[in-house]
Structure 1
Amino acid sequence: MTQGHVNALNPARFPRRTVHLDFHTGPDVPDVGRDFDPATFAQPFRDAHVDSVTVFAKCHHGHLYYGTDRPERHPGLSPDLDLLAEQVDALHAAGIRAPIYLSLQVDEYAAREHPEWVAHDENLKIARWTPSALEAGWNILDLSSPYADYFADQLDEVLRRFAPVDGIFVDMCWSQPSLSRWAVDGMRREGLDPADADHRMRYADLVAHRYMARYTAMVEKALPPEAVQGVYYNGRPKTGLPKERQFLRHVEIEGLPTGGWGYAFLPYVARFVRPLGMPTLSHTGRFHESWGDNAALKPRAALLYENSQMLSHGLTSGVGDVLHPRGVPAPAVYELIGSVYGHIARCEPFVEGGRVVSEVALVVDPGLGDRPGASNIGAVRALQQLRVQFDVVPPTADLAGYRAVVVPESTPVDDDLSERLAAYRRAGGAVVLVGPALLRGGTEPALLRGGTEPALLRGGTEPALPGLPVEGLAPAPAGEVFLACEGVPGVPEDFPVISHGSRLTARAMPGAEVLARVVAPYFPRSWDRFCGHSYTPPADPTEEVALAVGGGVAAVAVPLLEAFHDHGLEPYRRLLGAALDRLLPDPLVRAGGPVHLETTVVRTDTATVVHLTSFVPSRETPELDLVHDPFPLVDVPVSLRLAAAPRSVRLQPAGQELAWEHDGGYVHVRVTTADGHAMVVVEHD
């Protein structure tokens, strides 16, 4: 490959079906790239409908895989093989993009040659992925040390060799606190106290933003002006994107459900990212578990579920793989990926140029990062199961485009958010406030305590909004109570349901509709006075209310969303659904079928598309939720709010005409499919 290579691919077209081709190859592997054949390398990707492959310039071991005089070049790579250059050329010849990967905070070569560059914790121990240096694991580099310049030199060489690049993927980019001498000196220059953990974290964020600004400026010079894909810093929390988008042209979401992320991760993060309007791709992995599980493949149904979910959230698809050190893609891997990407490619034309439509905003605390805790995950699961079309947004988001807002237990309602919610309410928007969010002041998020305890009040006694349907809000005494539900479909009115977690006392205002009242036990349970195995039985209803609706506001005095996450009781979800039915009696979508069915809506210039995604992860090992088969949908009713009758309704990508009825407000169809993912495409004017 010669310097100044011209990329003939269209840089303005964002990749749709990608592979992240890991190549972390230790220095003791002797035959790196031995079987690599540039004439055949790209064919498996092309056959699998792949349009972009991220290839490696530098791995976690700190080794380089291109032609260079730098000593970090992998010792097992033949001197006459410029592996990266030949990979890029082969992929480009096949019409496939080739973004380039470099590892940042994990670099074993640099850590061995310069141990002083490794980050140090508060005990001046080196930061590692493992507690002992005698265990296999990565060292973590400190970007306040001269390592930042070392990496810049590597990046500069890659950019000079390969410009114009299809994109740069910089990995391992979290904010790393450190007490190295460079970090200590840097904190003192900034007026920060190295002995203060919060100051160390603030400095780590500052260091990250500085290197992102520096490296982005370098990469931008190597990108075509019209490129939509630029540099991406993997490992940064997506909730930080409102501040960090200045460094990016696009977003990538890494989330392997079996690799520690779980199946609740993507729906939460995708709903937060998509309102930002940035091109976004997501990638799972072909691995049974996580990265490095090289000799295991996941079932096709799992990969189909994960990529169909990406498509339904308006993201483009990605699958992680690991290339064998000898440089030949494994046929079995690309047969698997191709079988899934074939389906995705057939679906893409029906959502081309479309946007995901949401009518409810879930307001979350961005300080919780990408691990949002019990109340937010409980909210996402409940809203998905209720077929609500919603986004996840920070408190500073523009709420004007949403018909309703849900504020969960762990979101502090400070003065600014309180005033913004009041203005939103005056403009006609509906509001659901849960637990501590009913009071202006703040919360102590349950996430900070591992997500196992209820959110607690941290101050505030003033109502978060004027005109609440309840009064007398105050922390209730500890102890179990029960909920007597009224007018909640599917919940018996004569069977009080246990209420888990702390609560607020509340009385209904005149005219408010009460959906749940508090029922007291005979007496509080204690070590010296108890009845039965778990809690004292319910006795009599009280004047306290647990959920009341009135004036466009639903007030939930119990930690409903957190409790739904922790305990999964169906009445909790039904209570939330009943409140939303009062506030939004005409939702965008209604759908029957199994509770796990996921629905999202995409609107194009000529159609509205309802994604139906039906798979059931099951816990089959102590830590893994696995998917083996799609879950068939049989005669499932689906209704889409539509003012005028449609031109046609089809089930895609099968091309099946669906019988439909239009009642003046909704178009109604019934769907049967065994494929796990299908789209109801409603064509209209």
Structure 2
Amino acid sequence: MTGKFHSTWGEFGGYKHPDALRYECMAMLANGARCSIGDQLHPDARLDESTYRAIGQAYAEVEAKEAWCIGAESAADIAVLSNSAFHRESTESAAETGCARILQEGHLPFDLLDREMDFSGYGLVILPDDIRCDAALAGRLTGYLERGGKLLLSGTSGLAADKDAYSFDTGVEYQGVSGFNPAYLQMDKAFAPEWLTSPLVLYGAPGKLRAAAGERWLGKVLNPYFQRSYRHFSSHQHTPFSPAPTGLCGGVIRDNLAVLAFPVFSIYRERGQIALKEFLLKTIDVLLGGRRQIRCTGLPAEGRLTLMRQPERERTVLHLLYAPKVLKGGGKHQVEVIEELPPAPPVTVELRTGFRPARLRLEPAGTELAFSQTGESIRFTVPAFSCHQMVVAYRRETK
């Protein structure tokens, strides 16, 4: 659900830009949701003309596209276990939000699962930062790995609920939390951004991980010379890294498992470091290997995509969205707005469909889209679009 308000609920005379309302409705469709827009009636009991003109414009586009959205279900191959569900939190989880942002900006479709939902059918399961395992969850994850699933753990995720040790074999020994915050990550070259060779400061205490012999390191942890304090002072923010080896790994990766020492998703939520995002996306890419479901080039980081299927209609629907957001206002009145919808550039997509489409179309225009196929994957290019574009892969011929 969204609202027509510029700020939040209960605002008389406040209007978000019609382009923002249009984008939000398209995002609802892209995620398989029904559309709902909130308004507040004036005491004179008259509907506000400006409000309902904007709603009407957005809903006209919904009406034109809903045939490809009704009865749709997610086709995502990545599952994120919800920190809020595991900790029964009523407030935002930084780890959960940070993980969602990494995947959205990396254009990787995912589903957010609660503690009871089945994750056995997903190609990758992520436990962000602070999801410890009771015996039941440890058993489910062990079985999932044995059946060929892939798992990513960060921070204290994967540790037993009742002790500081991993609930299953991870290739590393956990020796508690580092006394240094921030600390530094010297990434392995294969996982570092092309433009970064120096250690990256990360604003969170890492777990002290000792890797077993033969494990592949994602990077190594470097400590500052000392923990900055009033008694032991250095610089404007924190102490620089010491080149002295610590013997602590920043994470390890196997064919089916990656373990990260830092609470990386919470750090990304709070700090938004692009180098950290690129490191995580490379880690996920290597971990997924040939199971990666979708790869696209040309879509800006602010672009979004989802992958849905309509089983009864035997078609798969790729949704592409793009709207740049701008930060306005200040202090407690700061707000992120959409005030224009510039076209997204052409986007080249490699999609693992699992079948050869009879047709590939841009809908609702019905424009045929050329594609090539290799194995279970198809490759195609989506022309420049504004706001939202659906690409529909039909299993059977259709008029």
TM normalised by structure 2 equals 0.90
Is 1:400 the counterpart of 2:120? The answer is yes
Is 1:645 the counterpart of 2:356? The answer is yes
**Over residues 395-453 of structure 1, what are the superposed CA-to-partner deviations in whole Å (9 max), with x where a residue is unaligned?**
22222121221111232322322222122222221111111113112xxxxxxxxxxxx
Is 1:613 the counterpart of 2:321? The answer is yes
Is 1:505 the counterpart of 2:208? The answer is yes
Deviates more, 1:648-657 or 1:304-313: 648-657
Q: Whole-Å Cα distance in 2 between the matches of residues 436 and 325 of structure 1?
A: 53
Q: What is the CA distance between 1:371 and its match in structure 2?
A: 2.8
Q: What is the CA distance between 1:354 and its match in structure 2?
A: 2.4
Greater fraction of residues in helix: 1
User: 1:628: which partner in 2?
Assistant: 339
Q: What is the CA distance between 1:380 and its match in structure 2?
A: 0.9
Q: Whole-Å Cα distance in 1 between the matches of residues 180 and 238 of structure 2?
A: 13
SS of aligned partner of 1:638: strand
AA partner of residue 294 (structure 2): V
User: 1:131: which partner in 2?
Assistant: none
Q: Whole-Å Cα distance in 2 between the matches of residues 639 and 538 of structure 1?
A: 41
Is 1:596 the counterpart of 2:280? The answer is no
Q: What is the CA distance between 1:321 and its match in structure 2?
A: 1.6
User: 1:22: which partner in 2?
Assistant: none
Q: CA distance change for structure 1 residues 333 and 532 in 2, over 3 Å: closer, same or farther?
A: same
Q: Whole-Å Cα distance in 1 between the matches of residues 365 and 58 of structure 2?
A: 15
Q: 1:581 aligns with which of 285, 309, 325?
A: 285
Larger Rg: 1
Kindly report which structure 2 residues correspond to 1:144-159, keeping only aligned pairs within 5 A, or say none: none
Q: Whole-Å Cα distance in 2 between the matches of residues 347 and 489 of structure 1?
A: 41
Is 1:334 the counterpart of 2:52? The answer is yes
Check conservation: 1:434, 1:557, Cα contact below 8 A.
Answer: yes
User: 1:548: which partner in 2?
Assistant: 252
Is 1:361 the counterpart of 2:64? The answer is no
Q: Whole-Å Cα distance in 2 between the matches of residues 372 and 363 of structure 1?
A: 14
Check conservation: 2:181, 2:203, Cα contact below 8 A.
Answer: no
AA partner of residue 666 (structure 1): S
Check conservation: 2:347, 2:384, Cα contact below 8 A.
Answer: no
Gaps (5+ residues) in structure 1?
Answer: 1-282, 442-458
User: 2:26: which partner in 1?
Assistant: 308
AA partner of residue 129 (structure 2): E
SS of aligned partner of 2:37: strand
TM normalised by structure 1 equals 0.54
Check conservation: 2:74, 2:111, Cα contact below 8 A.
Answer: no
User: 1:343: which partner in 2?
Assistant: 61
Q: What is the CA distance between 1:485 and its match in structure 2?
A: 1.2
SS of aligned partner of 1:335: helix
AA partner of residue 293 (structure 2): L
**Over residues 441-467 of structure 1, what are the superposed CA-to-partner deviations in whole Å (9 max), with x where a residue is unaligned?**
2xxxxxxxxxxxxxxxxx621213x22
Q: CA distance change for structure 1 residues 473 and 579 in 2, over 3 Å: closer, same or farther?
A: farther
- Same amino acid, percent of matched pairs: 27
Q: 2:177 aligns with which of 447, 467, 475?
A: 475
Query: Whose RCO is larger (CA < 8 A, sep 6+)?
Result: 2
Q: Whole-Å Cα distance in 2 between the matches of residues 462 and 304 of structure 1?
A: 49
Q: What is the CA distance between 1:684 and its match in structure 2?
A: 2.5
SS of aligned partner of 1:565: helix
Check conservation: 2:183, 2:206, Cα contact below 8 A.
Answer: no
Q: How large is the Cα RMSD of the aligned pairs?
A: 2.0
Check conservation: 2:304, 2:322, Cα contact below 8 A.
Answer: yes
Count of residue pairs the alignment pairs up: 385
Q: What is the CA distance between 1:533 and its match in structure 2?
A: 2.3
Q: Whole-Å Cα distance in 1 between the matches of residues 232 and 314 of structure 2?
A: 67
User: 1:299: which partner in 2?
Assistant: 17
Q: CA distance change for structure 1 residues 524 and 369 in 2, over 3 Å: closer, same or farther?
A: closer
Q: CA distance change for structure 1 residues 369 and 521 in 2, over 3 Å: closer, same or farther?
A: closer
User: 1:484: which partner in 2?
Assistant: 186
SS of aligned partner of 2:25: helix
Q: What is the CA distance between 1:555 and its match in structure 2?
A: 0.6
AA partner of residue 387 (structure 1): H
Q: Whole-Å Cα distance in 2 between the matches of residues 582 and 505 of structure 1?
A: 23
AA partner of residue 200 (structure 2): V
Q: Whole-Å Cα distance in 2 between the matches of residues 552 and 656 of structure 1?
A: 40
Is 1:411 the counterpart of 2:131? The answer is yes
User: 1:285: which partner in 2?
Assistant: 3
Is 1:654 the counterpart of 2:398? The answer is no
Q: Whole-Å Cα distance in 2 between the matches of residues 537 and 324 of structure 1?
A: 58
Q: Whole-Å Cα distance in 2 between the matches of residues 643 and 511 of structure 1?
A: 35
Q: CA distance change for structure 1 residues 544 and 491 in 2, over 3 Å: closer, same or farther?
A: farther
Gaps (5+ residues) in structure 2?
Answer: none
Check conservation: 1:388, 1:587, Cα contact below 8 A.
Answer: no
SS of aligned partner of 1:437: coil
**Over residues 633-685 of structure 1, what are the superposed CA-to-partner deviations in whole Å (9 max), with x where a residue is unaligned?**
11221221124432222222333332322222321122233421111112224
Q: What is the CA distance between 1:512 and its match in structure 2?
A: 2.3
AA partner of residue 360 (structure 1): I
**Over residues 108-136 of structure 1, what are the superposed CA-to-partner deviations in whole Å (9 max), with x where a residue is unaligned?**
xxxxxxxxxxxxxxxxxxxxxxxxxxxxx
AA partner of residue 287 (structure 1): F
Q: CA distance change for structure 1 residues 519 and 339 in 2, over 3 Å: closer, same or farther?
A: same
Check conservation: 1:479, 1:525, Cα contact below 8 A.
Answer: no
Q: What is the CA distance between 1:473 and its match in structure 2?
A: 3.4
Q: Whole-Å Cα distance in 2 between the matches of residues 438 and 292 of structure 1?
A: 43
SS of aligned partner of 1:673: coil
Check conservation: 2:131, 2:158, Cα contact below 8 A.
Answer: no
Check conservation: 1:476, 1:502, Cα contact below 8 A.
Answer: yes
SS of aligned partner of 1:575: helix
Q: What is the CA distance between 1:369 and its match in structure 2?
A: 4.1
Q: Whole-Å Cα distance in 2 between the matches of residues 554 and 462 of structure 1?
A: 16
Q: 2:379 aligns with which of 665, 668, 674?
A: 668
SS of aligned partner of 1:316: coil
Q: What is the CA distance between 1:479 and its match in structure 2?
A: 3.5
Q: Whole-Å Cα distance in 1 between the matches of residues 24 and 175 of structure 2?
A: 43
**Over residues 578-597 of structure 1, what are the superposed CA-to-partner deviations in whole Å (9 max), with x where a residue is unaligned?**
22222212322212221111
**Over residues 533-571 of structure 1, what are the superposed CA-to-partner deviations in whole Å (9 max), with x where a residue is unaligned?**
222222324321112112511111101000000000112
